[in-house]
Amino acid sequence: MKMFKMAAVLAASVALPSVAGATDLEVTHWWTSGGEAAAVAEFAKAFDATGNKWVDGAIAGSGDVARPIIISRIMGGNPMGATQLNPGKDADELIKAGLMQDITDLATKEDWAHLLRPKSQLDSCTVDGKVYCVPVNLHSGQWMWTNRKVFTDLGMTPPKDFNELMADAPALQKAGIQPLSLAQGWPVGLLVQDITVALAGVDNFVKVYKDRDIGIASGPEFTKVFEAVAAARQYAPADKMVPQWNEAIGLVIQGKAAANIMGDWAGGEFQVAHMVAGKDYDCLPGLGITPVLNTGGDVFYFPKSADPKITEAQLVLAHTLVTKEAQLAFNLKKGSLPMRADVDLSAANDCMKKGLQILDHSTAVFPNDSQMMDRDSLNQISDLMTEFMANTDMTPAQAQAKFVDIIKNAPK
Ligand code: GAL
């Protein structure tokens, strides 16, 4: 019954090839932590309800591991039915090579341009006026997460921002608590980026990452950032770094660490642990210093297939991902904001409410790094920050000079 209903909705909204029968669609993504797995299961459930079958192609180990695997499979002629990527430049080469399905007709018929917000997300899916992906959420990277009990047990007040955390850090350390947990790889880059946005401000961050303003990158606002990172190094030492971002959040959940800096997807882990935002833990956008959101997030692309049944199932999936029901169920578990403004968010937790408030205040919303710079340059920055955090002999001035070189050489 449900399948007929879905077919009728689609037939009314977009011309689909008329191929009958259920289709298995392999969907790749890197959602393997507790919160992420719970969230993506909602998409799988919604797609299965159309009569098709979501064949889960989860790739463990975060986007850095998954992205090259996804891209090389498509390039190499072994495409999946659909895949997660981030909004931005990651699929540019695949689109140029004609390997991705154009879903403009569906996007137009369903009026995604008005249905989905903010505009930046659909813009990121659009190349030369054609839509190639469907944005499923708005995920922002600039959050600090703290375990309240860690502080109150020590007779301390939970910090309201990163500066207060740094002031508390010596006392926490003395009590055997790691002030700041950290995971290896991209989370180090994210930590530094979040400190940059908080201390140098959104405008300067965008001027450097988007406009490649070397004067600002080498100037005092950024010197302040590198100095703050150097001061934070002792509280998140290299020998205490854990392999994965969710393990670092796990240390905060278990009360072994006081805080972590991570995107709002961390909220899913606290939910799985049955902790309540604003009671058991705090989520502080912009590290509590500059409340901001960026327009990061996740999108799904649909590699071209010679099989018309796959093509049809891809359109059914694209449609399903933006339905009210799927948007709500997925985003509540994921810790991200839904793409549609017309979903009932009465069940939103404190963190999501804070995010929605910022989203309505559009000046505090700025582009994700992947929307401004190519992945190779971003990886170079991440590697540099990893070296800077781990090597206490590297001075802030040396790190800043290397950073400026990467910005200078990043392709526009
Ligand atoms: C991001 C993605 C998020 C989250 C995070 C950690 O790239 O946008 O949805 O999953 O990685 O896995």
Looking at the fold, whether 332 and 373 belong to one and the same domain comes out as no
From residue 264, give the alpha-carbon distance in Å to each of 169, 246, 287.
23, 12, 12
What pLDDT is stored for residue 360 in this prediction? 83
Domain count, the chain: 2
- Per-residue pLDDT, 363: 76
**CATH (domain of 368):** 3.40.190.10
Q: What is the mean pLDDT of the chain?
A: 93
- Is residue 63 lining ligand 1, measured as CB closer than 6 Å? yes
Question: At which of 339, 361, 383 does a domain end?
Answer: 361
Top pLDDT among 341 and 206 is at 206
Same domain, 107 and 195: no
**Average pLDDT for 318-325:** 97
Q: Are 81 and 22 in contact (CB under 8 A)?
A: no
pLDDT of residue 236: 94
Nearest alpha-carbon partner for 295 in 62, 145, 128, 123 = 123
Q: Which atom of ligand 1 is nearest to the CA of 62?
A: 12
pLDDT at 15: 45
pLDDT at 6: 45
Same domain, 288 and 381: yes
173 shares a domain with 127? no
Looking at the structure, do residues 39 and 150 belong to the same domain, yes or no?
Answer: no
- Does residue 36 have its Cβ closer than 6 Å to ligand 1? yes
**In this structure, are 221 and 341 located in the same domain?**
no
End-to-end CA distance of the chain: 51
Residues 107 and 152 in one domain: no
Q: Is 139's C-beta closer than 6 angstroms to any atom of ligand 1?
A: yes
Claim to verify: residue 155 and residue 204 sit in the same structural domain: yes
Amino acid 336: pLDDT: 95
pLDDT of residue 11: 43
pLDDT in tens, 229-259: 999 999 999 999 999 999 999 999 999 999 9
Looking at the fold, whether 239 and 323 belong to one and the same domain comes out as: no
**Which residue range is the domain that position 52 belongs to?**
2-139+296-361
Domain edge (last residue) among 361, 379, 397: 361
| CA–CA dist 353, 346 (Å, integer) | 10
248 and 100 belong to one structural domain: no
Residue environment code for 376-409, b if the CB has 16+ CB neighbours within 10 A, otherwise e: ebbbbbbbbbbebbeeeebebeebbebbbebbee
Find out whether the beta carbon of 295 lies less than 6 Å from any atom of ligand 1.
no
CB 169 within 8 A of CB 160: no
190 and 306 in a common domain: no
Q: Is the pLDDT of residue 10 over 90?
A: no
Could you say which of 361, 377, 398 is where a domain stops?
361
231-239 contacts at long range (C-beta below 8 A, 24 or more positions apart): 231/166, 232/166, 232/180, 232/191, 232/195, 233/388, 233/389, 233/392, 234/392, 235/166, 235/169, 235/173, 235/178, 235/179, 235/180, 236/178, 236/179, 236/180, 236/181, 236/182, 236/191, 236/389, 238/389, 238/390
Residue 187 near residue 252 (C-beta atoms within 8 A): no
Tokens 């003395």, located at residue: 174
Q: How does pLDDT run across 14-66, given as a tens digit for each residue?
A: 444 444 569 999 999 999 999 999 999 999 999 999 999 999 999 998 999 99
What number does the ligand 1 atom closest to the CA of 334 have? 9
Same domain, 79 and 122: yes
- Would you state the pLDDT for residue 4? 40
* Percentage of residues in the chain having pLDDT higher than 70: 95
Cα 360 to chain centroid distance, Å, stands at 19
